[in-house]
Chains A and B, each alone.
Chain A
């Protein structure tokens, strides 16, 4: 399985991990015409086997970059530092052949715009069979039997197997993407905005489908969305990202209903609770925009929009600190010990 020299035991400097995914001090910097763009600026994040972790934040805060880095799908010229341990192996340093194997069988990804990720001129059954033929090295017959099973699992009629992507609705295409992600029985699925742009009812169908499948097959899920409410409902844990950093991490329900970081609280307040008099005829937003990654403010990156900012925030860039059992937040008002390594 493991490439020579890449086995975890060959790296005695690193503590072995019990986590399926363990991201350590990750930075991702894009190369752009306007100079380097730091999209991810030191992220520590881990995910246990079978766990569902949500990653929330406004657009531009680095969620998709983080997701892409897990499978090393970043554009050429991008600089990455830190470690991404998947089952103990560092994705960032593994060789190409190992990486290709890991990409479907270790972890797979479901993107937002299924229309752009699917090949428009190939029937969907062929597209789902492709990774199976490539990675599991089985016969065409077996692969197509597996496709039939997958289609059924994602709730698509067998008759749809010969359809082209454009013949399917948005929800059906997202089901095809999920079937492809499941094709090689991965341990981890990364779902980047899997229901954005879908209708409420179709979104509910897809969320239930993903939830049921990962639970039944013991797959870990890293689900990314700008919709905190969706993540709170679907995931066990929730991490909130702002300007390339994780600013809060904890049990999903607690983070959503009782955030410790002012940004988390502002995001959560933006979701109206129907029946709640405090949001009736009173939409809540968050004025301003996330900072330009190439021109971050000094101190805490959230300071220009933060209702609780104090003098210190202009100088101090707070690290994640323990903010209750299983919880962490990065704000000067969270006056606790830094999390260090053992979160």
Chain B
């Protein structure tokens, strides 16, 4: 893995905005490292407001970083109009259609051909003409026979078909990577499964990489290789999907997993859901120490105090996690020497726990 170069990387990325209400600065993305390797599907998960869309937009070159870098095949993205044009052809955005990605007055053909026209005849590749290229993209997105869809309007399609048109519009430029922001959020589960199959198939058959932004951990289990859990502008836990979703260590990841309806069914004897109070925390006022501490069940239950880490939780910064493949977690309660404490039961204090903030790797 080390000799491979990521298709797309965030390197110590920072993005902030003047606060929408009142004063101050919203630190929407606050030092994020994240790599997506060729042929890899990475899921970026977290509650709404944690900065996922801002990170995705910045990776797409739609937002300029306030600090750090976006790397494309290892090279810093150049924010000139020429540099961005080439970049945006290779890194395609897929939004969900209800957010207005399709113009209701454009036919399916026009919607897909639009990107091609921006990039001129070089974008046609080996195809003889625009029509053949558009038909190929529609077919790859699962709309077959493609010609039957050319003259349809979005309102004449089902939700799943519209989402396939959006994906075809991205595929038509033969990108190396798709950045998909909540691509299936409001679709029926039946349709969602079909769209996820499509994304997985594009990776398996064509080696396409994807960064999928979602608040749906089931989606990560369905298609992703790696997952990064974001909280208030920072990645707090990351690693292979099997590890992070079946043996999560960060209290935030654990809480997110515990409230899934499916997990409630297999709960017999389990600890039950950990429902965090409050909603999207405020990026204009990032708490000191661990940014999750005001909502952390380990602190609230007194277990942090028992572990002798409460002061660290409230006051000591945690290291920023790497963007690479290995499992890592940013939490004072997770000690590299002692192994993960069982955060659900009352732990016995460990000597030396909380001595230094840790970034744990395996």
Interface residues of A (CB under 8 A from B): 58-59, 169, 171-172, 196-197, 199-205, 208, 226-230, 232-234, 253, 256-257, 266-267, 269-275, 279-287, 289
Contact = CB atoms under 8 A, between A and B. Distances in A.
A227 B261 contact: yes
B245 A200 contact: no
Contact of A229 (B185, B188, B261): B261
Interface string B173-212: 0000000000001101111111111001000000000000
Given A256-B265, A270-B190, A286-B194, A204 B280 contact: no
Contact of A230 (B190, B218, B261): B261
A273 B188 CA distance: 16
Contacts of A200: 47, 215-217, 256, 259-260
A204 B273 contact: yes
9 contacts: A58-B188, A201-B276, A226-B188, A229-B265, A270-B193, A271-B261, A272-B218, A274-B262, A279-B221
Contacts of A274: 217-218, 221, 245-246, 257, 260, 262-263
Given A200-B259, A229-B261, A272-B262, A283 B222 contact: yes
A226 B197 CA distance: 20
B279 interface: yes
Contact of A197 (B159, B186, B266, B277): B186
Given A227-B189, A229-B261, A285-B196, A208 B275 contact: yes
Nearest to B158: A289
Contacts of B196: 283, 285
Nearest to B255: A201
A229 B262 contact: yes
Contact of A281 (B185, B223, B255, B259): B223
A171 B276 CA distance: 13
A6 to B, nearest CB: 39
A285 B256 contact: no
A242 B258 CA distance: 31
B295 to A, nearest CB: 9
Main secondary structure of the interface of B (DSSP, over half): helix
A249 B32 CA distance: 48
Contacts of A257: 265
A274 B241 CA distance: 10
4 tightest Cβ-Cβ pairs between the two chains A and B = A285-B193, A285-B194, A286-B190, A283-B196
Contact of A286 (B193, B242, B255): B193
Most buried by A among B190, B192, B196, B279: B190
B194 A287 contact: yes
B48 interface: yes
Interface of B: 47-48, 158-160, 185-186, 188-197, 200, 215-219, 221-223, 241-242, 245-246, 255-257, 259-266, 273, 275-277, 279-280
Contacts of A196: 186
B47 A201 contact: yes
A152 B40 CA distance: 47
B190 A266 contact: yes
A319 B338 CA distance: 61
Contacts of B277: 205
Nearest to B21: A167
B180 to A, nearest CB: 14
A248 B279 CA distance: 36
B46 to A, nearest CB: 9
Contacts of A208: 273, 275
A201 B259 contact: yes
Contacts of A256: 265
**A59, A205, A274 interface centre (most CB from chain B within 10 Å):** A274
A289 B218 contact: no
Contacts of A233: 261, 264-265
Interface centre among B158, B188, B195, B215 (most CB of A within 10 A): B188
Contacts of B246: 274-275
Contacts of A58: 188, 190-191
B47 A199 contact: yes
A253 B280 CA distance: 32
A279 B246 CA distance: 13
Contacts of B47: 199-202
Contact of B259 (A169, A204, A272): A204
B196 to A, nearest CB: 4
Given A196-B186, A284-B193, A285-B192, A169 B279 contact: yes
A290 B221 CA distance: 27
A163 to B, nearest CB: 13
B1 to A, nearest CB: 19
Given A196-B186, A256-B265, A274-B257, A282 B222 contact: yes
B223 A283 contact: yes
Given A171-B279, A267-B189, A253 B245 contact: no
Nearest to A231: B261
A285 B190 contact: yes
A227 B186 CA distance: 11
Nearest to A286: B190
